[in-house]
Amino acid sequence: MWPDKRLMDMLGITCPIIQAPMAGADSPQLAAAVSAQGGLGSLGCALRSADQIAAAVRDVRNVTDQPFNLNFFCHQPPPHDVGQDGRWLARLAPYYDELGVALPSELSAGRDAFDAELCDLVCELAPAVVSFHFGLPPAPLVARVRAAGCRILSSATTPAEAVWLVEHGVDAVIAQGVEAGGHRGVFASSWQHGSGQIGTLALVPQVADAVDVPVIAAGGIADGRGIAASFALGASGVQIGTAFLRCPESAVSPLHRAALDRAQADATVLTNVFTGRPARSIANRMTRELGPIDLDAPSFPRAAAASLPLRLAAEAAGSGDFSSLWAGQAAALARVVPAAELVRWLAEDARMRIARA
């Protein structure tokens, strides 16, 4: 029924649809529903403690024994640049004033990258699949994850990044086009100009030509047409985020959910002002007044510590002005249904489109 089964065979899934990990907005219920339906559910672990990761994995395994994916960020922690932090906080000071929030005197280091401790946990939990964002962790950690029996994925935003990932041990490459919501996986190319980032339709075939492993298309896919197109481009599967974010099982905030309901195709921009790294969000006051790209923002993830108090205060007042409203460019295509039904519909719609051709 599917024109390319390489990814399905490799990951032990019956439907070539990966629910994208969405740190802070996915849930064990969402991942379990996708995996139980034959796709690959994912848990974004970047904002979860070790205990929370273990608990979420238990929750998934209570529902299904099918493969699922744990995702980790593996950025290089940036140097603590007090001057840069201070300049950015000064820039944000008027907003802190306006919202009546005390300006922090310094920024916390923020979320941790994948390290030996998290690697211990992964080896103990032994999920079928581990995916990384922002490149790969150091080689010894990659080797340990592999030795634990996990398949390893990571995202490439250029053909050159895809080649690097394969040389460093991934089993499949996620070709993340510019349409994708949330953080871009970019790790070895420049991102200062969003318009240099490559669209999914142009990226997937060029990545497929550059590597021998299965390619997973990501970015702008939210119905069977996008899936059928991805296979035509040379992909062996797809990763879909925004459409799953709209499922009732996701942990997205009501405010973010309402913004997704309204989001037209041109509602989003790539911005670094929320976290320090480029990510696609629905444009709002924060991206308009501070960005969407400002190279003065502290490096990821330090900028997130600067924007979080604003977000919390604004959201408490019912405003998404300072919220990272992650969304891809195909939010409007998604059907808003429970995750199992979404997987079924996506697969049926895709197979119908493929068969019709």
Residues that bind a copy of itself (CB under 8 A): 3, 157-160, 177-179, 189, 193-203, 205-206, 209, 219-221, 223, 225-226, 228-234, 264-266, 268-271, 280, 283, 292-293, 328-330, 332-333, 353-354, 356-357
CB of 104 to a copy of itself, least distance (A): 29
Provide, for the chain, the percentages of residues in helix, strand and coil under a 3-state DSSP scheme, each rounded to the nearest 5: 45, 15, 45
Least Å distance, CB 143 to a copy of itself, is 30
Rounded to a whole number of angstroms, the minimum distance from the CB of residue 346 to a copy of itself is: 13
Q: Which contiguous run of DSSP H or E holds residue 280? A: strand 279-282
Q: Quick one: 84 or 230, whose CB is closer to a copy of itself?
A: 230
- Which CB, 39 or 224, lies closer to a copy of itself? 224
Q: Are the C-beta atoms of 210 and 228 separated by less than 8 Å?
A: no
CB of 195 to a copy of itself, least distance (A): 3
Q: Residue 279's closest CA among 257, 253, 249, 307?
A: 307
Closest CA to 13 of 219, 182, 242, 216: 216
Secondary structure letter of residue 78 according to DSSP? P
Residues 153 and 75: their CA atoms lie apart, in Å, by: 15
Q: What's the closest the beta carbon of residue 135 comes to a copy of itself, in angstroms?
A: 16
SS3 10: helix
- Least gap, CB of 283 to a copy of itself (angstroms): 7
Report the nearest approach of a copy of itself to the CB of residue 35 (Å). 26
If the CB atoms of residues 230 and 323 are measured against a copy of itself, the closer one turns out to be 230
**Would you say 52 or 264 has its CB closer to a copy of itself?**
264
Please report, in angstroms and rounded to a whole number, the separation of the first and last CA atoms in the chain: 13
Token pair listed for 153: 């994925």
Closer Cβ to a copy of itself, 62 or 264, answer by number: 264
Going by C-alpha positions, the residue among 139, 138, 140, 170 that lies closest to residue 153 is 170
User: Which residues are CB-neighbours of 169 under 8 A, at least 6 positions away?
Assistant: 136, 139, 142, 143, 146, 152
Round to whole Å and give the CA distance between 224 and 348: 7
Q: At what angle do helices 159-167 and 200-210 cross, to 10 degrees?
A: 40
- From the CB of 224, what's the least distance to a copy of itself, in Å? 9
Closer residue to a copy of itself, CB minimum distance, 201 or 251:
201
Nearer to a copy of itself, 53 or 350 (CB): 350
State which residue, 141 or 203, has the beta carbon closest to a copy of itself.
203
